Structure 1
Amino acid sequence: MDSRGRAGESTQLREGALRPAARDAPGADHVRAPARGARERDAGSAGGACRAGQGDRGRRRAGRARPRGRERAASRSDRTVRRRGAVRRLARLAGCLALGATAAGCGGHERVIPWLARPATTVPIPRYVPAAPPDAPPCDDLRYAGTQGVNSVTDEYGLAVRNGRSQTCALEGHPAVVVPPGGPGPLSVIATERDATVPPGFPAQGARFGLRPGQEAHVTLLVVRPCDHGRGSDARQRLRAFLPMGDAQTSFTILTCRGQGAVMSVGVLAPPEQRRKLRTWPLRTSLSLPHAVTAGTTSSYRVRLTNVSQRPFRFPYCPTFAARLNGRDRFGRLNCEPMGTLAPGAHATFAMRRLISAKLPSGQYELRWSLMDETLKFDVVARGSLSVRH
């Protein structure tokens, strides 16, 4: 240090200040800052708040000024960074303009519901149990409803309960079947745990329900009789059935096997099948497909659904869709929960994916996308052209 307390310039510092690169001729991408004195105002101070502080260099004390060569080197470095930043901003702007052409642009871009791989499903059926008032009387009109053959060893018998009253009556459970002694063969009677003959939505294990005036409930009885028909072992047997509540009863005759007997499965009392209007979707669909896809890869595309009705629309459940390419369907379940409710004329866009078979020859193909409604029909349909290459 010298007598004034300042550090002496080292050999390295002096060499940096006299570096020959500072006197090189400027290139095409270089702007040389004009020479200025120790107290000359920096021209960069006119740049506004984003260049704050650079214009104050000229007001620094002369004793703290750095060698002029270093100032020029710093200025060259700063100019280079600023030029690179401008190039990056122009590149981002060009990218935004390109993406805007595909509805995925910058700012205010279209919201796309993401792809979610889900297996296809059947149309859900709401629970159907007609209400029965707590004080509803038991139904009391039981009668035999007929029989029909199911196959060579199985027969189906039906019992019906009609409400002839002026108020709702209640039913629940399995009817009781009594087998009189002295029959042609043993008869095993069991209760069906899960009755497949009940109407859609009614619990297969049964439930308490109400039967309105004029309505008719039913119950199914299946009889399995593996008789030897060639030896004439067929026989008839008279049975009696009772409702689980009240004193209503009826008699009927079944076919059984002489000596060998049969097995009877008694179903649950069930209400008449409900009548409801199956819903369709008031939607128009369109596709946004890539120009070309490669065989053996998974292609991404978009589906837009537009509400063409005059009322808000919301899916009651997420339906099944089908994407057909070259005659082969791929099924899945639409990721509809994020859509919410569509106002009249509004639309929702969904991201979709489709595996392109590696065996598919190069060429132009039609992609057919459709949505299944409650009628089990694929009525919401869109088509687009897809180029496949290898």
Structure 2
Amino acid sequence: MHGKRSIYRRNRTTLIFTLLFSFSFVSLPAQENDAAANSLTASIGSLDSMESWLLYERGLHLFSRKEYGEALNHFNKLIERHGVYPEAEYWIGRVFEQEGEHILAEKQYQKALEAVRVLHIPEQKYEIQYRLAELYKNRGDLDSYSQILNSIILDELENNQLALANESPAINTLKRDGIDRTLLLFRHTFTYSIEAFNQLGIYYYKKGDYRAATAKLIYPLLSFFSITIDYLRDSDPQLTFPEDFDELVEKHSEYVFGTLERIIRRKEKDFSFMRDLDSLEVIDRDNQLRNAATLLPKPPEYYLSGVSCCLQTSFSDPSLKLLMDDYEIFRTMYYLAASLYAEGYTETALRIWEIINMNEDAGMWKLRSEQQLDEPSVDSTDIIF
């Protein structure tokens, strides 16, 4: 009997060909699609003669086609053959969940977790845990839901003791000095626990535990901006996170004056800063900033920050845009601000909502932030996801 690791290393060329051939069915009409799938299965042979790596891949393909009965046969055959096969246990759970058998699905996910030591890809443990957490959430078992997510977080924090030690200082800095100062002083990155931090932060907020919500939501924020700044420094080693408004104007003048122009044009449609005709750079910056200040409801510094500058830069870079979407960064920032507001840190909360409101691509979170800026309030604490 071959070990699973050797199974996945064998016949890679055949595997790629088979998958490409299988996925090509998607473009066929439904009847031809089914006929092609049946033909491929027939050509491969019976489950008993099929190699384990192909059994698994075929099971995944059948699941994606919603052929749950056949997928179940493939995954069961793997367990019959190997005895312990956590990936198959997990996908059997997915089949049960699709068919509404949530108790059976839970048992399968737990079986898979009991055998995580032999997962081909160890990190798949977290995929299983997230799926189990989702199942608990959907059936209203919020204690089990939060326990699973907390276990994911603890796994990563155990390998990042510095972040754990900095939790209280980072939160205190955020509450006392605001978001820019916090991101200037603290940098930590996380991977598989980001969604757990986000989900738990929102859960605690809706539960009314605002302090716990803040403690969870600060981590995705730190991680996103740490990764973003490191990424930008790869192309510009001299780049620094601005410490104050003067540095922001000096090093990111196009962002500063472009942003202020957009704000002023909300009321003065024809407003523009005077620019050099050749370089298009704003001239006589200090005087123009002073003049602009008279047209703004609040000082220019209120609308501009290193955080906003990073976000605007991220939108123009495809890789960073994907990272923003993956982190759902505006959702995170919105609920972090909401938690801070509920704790009594109004100025810090309003500042974060203003940053979101300044981003045209923030979607519903821009609208909700705008509402909070007009009439700040604590959102409903009903546990609804």
TM over 0.5: no
Structure of higher RCO (CA pairs closer than 8 Å, 6+ residues apart): 1
Under TM normalisation by the shorter chain, which class is it? under 0.3
Name the structure with the higher helix share: 2
Q: Whose strand proportion is higher, 1 or 2?
A: 1
The structure having more radius of gyration, on CA atoms, is 1
